[in-house]
Chain A
Amino acid sequence: MAEEHPEQALWVYAVTTGLAAERLGTDRGVGGAPVRPLTEGELTALVSPVDLAEFGEEALRRNLEDLDWLAATARAHDTVVTAAARAATAAVPLRLATVYLGEDRVRGLLAERRADFTAALELLAGRTEWGVKAYADPDALAEDAAAPAEGSGQGAGTAYLLRRKAQLSAREAAQREAAAHAEHLHTALARLAVSARRHPPQDPALSRERGWMVLNGAYLVDDDRAEELARQVEALAGTRRGVRLELTGPWPPYSFAGVVQ
């Protein structure tokens, strides 16, 4: 891509303010390359050099389909972003695989988008992202929804058909109810958050979960309300039989970094 550019390609992890680089605690990033801060005004980006043979546009497309490569890259990215969020007043994570050609380009980005980054950093300071997932056990919910209408004088065939029909509509009812409950959970959790969003449910093939994932929520919460959120998750977990909740985090604010045009 950049044959005419002798500059180094740089992977960008996050844009921070008030970064105490000595508190970062990690100095290796994607591909084991050394991470360094690049400062422009009051903003500091964390970057590390990458080889375009592995991280250029075409190579990236290929490598992203390799699960081992993807997993290692995602974890390396997350390690630096997490360290940045801890060592700075606030950090805006960048989308995985953001690669710039040369230091000047990164500095130019920081200068050009200063207002956007500053606004995003103000929103994120003193706040942390938490994840809450809810799984519904289809059988338990359908059992509750099914009215046990056993043998009332019909022949065996009719009874079977009626039972089958009841099972199917019980399943539909359970699905509707699970969706409504998920909405209720999200609303209750969002009340404790300054911002909330729902990720699409995860594929069961990936999450290895038998239950339906009815909620995959992310909540940006003031740090002094984190315990309140944990208590709320516990309280909500007991409100519906057949629905299990899982709290994850703390996360860097990946879900609330927004889009900088």
Chain B
Amino acid sequence: MREVDAAPERRISLVDLLDRVLAGGVVLSGEVTLCIAEVDLVHVSLRALITSASTLERAAADG
């Protein structure tokens, strides 16, 4: 990352970011962590996103 430094303020799309933070990264299993199961996490978050995306679209169409 040192040789290919991005601008300090990365303008990244939330969807691209969620692809990675929800479905990527190390998953640690074990009784000491509260990490929610992969499927649940992706599922609940996407439901939230889709609901709000269609709300936004309706708002844009109305406005």
Contacts and interface: CB of A to CB of B under 8 A. Distances in A.
Interface of A: 1, 9, 15, 55-57, 60-61, 64-67, 70-71, 74-75, 77-78, 82, 85-86, 92-101, 105, 108-109, 113, 120, 128, 131, 199, 202-203, 205-208, 216, 218, 223-224, 226, 248-252, 254-261
A78 B20 CA distance: 10
Contact of B10 (A74, A82, A97, A101): A82
Contacts of B35: 95, 97-99
B59 interface: no
Contacts of A206: 15, 49-50, 53
Nearest to A197: B24
B26 A260 contact: yes
A202 B42 CA distance: 12
Q: Would you call the interface of chain A mostly helix, strand, loop, or mixed?
A: mixed
Nearest to B45: A64
Interface size class of B (residues with CB under 8 A): 35 or more
A250 B7 CA distance: 10
Contacts of B62: none
Contact of B28 (A85, A94, A224): A94
B16 A56 contact: no
Given A128-B4, A254-B20, 18 more contacts: A15-B26, A64-B44, A67-B51, A70-B45, A78-B12, A94-B25, A95-B25, A95-B27, A95-B41, A99-B33, A199-B19, A203-B46, A203-B50, A203-B53, A206-B50, A223-B3, A223-B4, A257-B24
A65 B47 contact: yes
Interface string B30-63: 1011111010110011111111111001000000
B21 A57 contact: no
A131 B47 CA distance: 24
Contacts of A85: 1
A207 B46 CA distance: 12
